[in-house]
């Protein structure tokens, strides 16, 4: 999310020729690059998904520029799924209120257990999938 939003901020102030070069470099339509530069965001909803296991994770992604959060196993693999789901929704709605986030995060039980990247085999690594 940080990389996406940072790349969009870098477009600000570029002229059409510079934006065309960026579009060529990233193999994206010029119109999409130009619109993103103008509105300083993607012209589509930008959801964060994967690795969201706590209210703090959800709040951080919102703070970094996400429009919303998808959560699945982060809720269902937590110690108390119902409480965690409610807390994550509250965190998304209050991501810019640290005092409220601290209150929301109390008494949730254990979050979903993380997986160390060093324990993953190559087929499980996302960065080697696709093209």
Q: How far apart are the first and last CA of the chain?
A: 21
129 — pLDDT class (breaks 50, 70, 90) = low
Question: Are both 32 and 51 inside the same structural domain?
Answer: no
Question: Are both 74 and 105 inside the same structural domain?
Answer: yes
127 — pLDDT class (breaks 50, 70, 90) = low
pTM of the complete model = 0.75
**How many domains does the chain contain in total?**
2
Establish if 124 belongs to a structural domain: no
Establish if 127 belongs to a structural domain: no
């Amino acid at each position: 999310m940080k990389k996406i939003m940072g790349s969009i901020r870098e477009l600000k102030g570029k002229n059409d020729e510079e934006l065309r070069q960026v579009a060529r470099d990233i193999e994206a339509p010029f119109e999409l690059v130009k619109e993103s530069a103008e509105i300083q965001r993607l012209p589509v909803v930008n959801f964060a998904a994967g690795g969201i296991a706590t209210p703090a994770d959800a709040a951080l992604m919102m703070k970094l520029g996400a429009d919303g959060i998808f959560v699945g196993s982060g809720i269902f693999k937590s110690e108390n799924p119902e409480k965690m789901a409610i807390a994550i929704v509250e965190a998304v709605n209050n991501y810019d209120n640290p005092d409220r986030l601290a209150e929301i995060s109390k008494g949730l039980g254990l979050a979903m257990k993380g997986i160390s990247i060093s324990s993953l085999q190559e087929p499980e690594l996302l960065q080697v999938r696709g093209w």
